[in-house]
Structure 1
Amino acid sequence: MPDSDAAEPPDDEPTDPSVADRARHVLSENGTGMLQDLLFALVWVGLASALYNVAFSTAPQWVLYMFMLAGIPAYFGFFISLEMAKERSAR
């Protein structure tokens, strides 16, 4: 017996958006922030790896892990200070 109370989606909206549609939607809403996050991560990992390989080449492996973990507070510190600078310049 069909359920007559079930709402049918409009014809112009797909019932199940594809992965590409969902990715396009997420990128359109958060594209700039995601790009900034990706760039920060790439630069941080590159700098931490270079520092570990050049300056601390004889250090144990856990030093590299500590450099990588230091990226978490560095990320938040960088973007919080960036927001503060934007607010200060808008005044």
Structure 2
Amino acid sequence: MKGTGNLITVDDKTIVNSMEKVFKEELEDMEKDLEFLYKKYDVPNSRLLADKVSAGIYMGEEILRDLEDMEYFEENIEKLRAYLRDLNMKKI
């Protein structure tokens, strides 16, 4: 970091490395939470749980919240992986 008057500048490499660290930590947390939900309902993805809910195998508010969480995690895990790929390209 360099000071220029009252401003502090940060080089791009520091920013990229910080972003990468945050994204990796968030990705790890989401993957753990998603894996917990998969095991809870013995399913490999949210689509199969949605099918089981539609068939009446699972019912209730908790299942619907968990299904919503699964879908959220699946979507955002893919986004975080894409962000990490983009960051890795910036490092090259």
Normalized against structure 1, the TM-score is what? 0.34
Structure with higher RCO (Cα < 8 A, 6+ apart): 2
Larger radius of gyration between Structure 1 and Structure 2 = 1
Bigger fraction of residues in helix? 2
Normalized against structure 2, the TM-score is what? 0.33
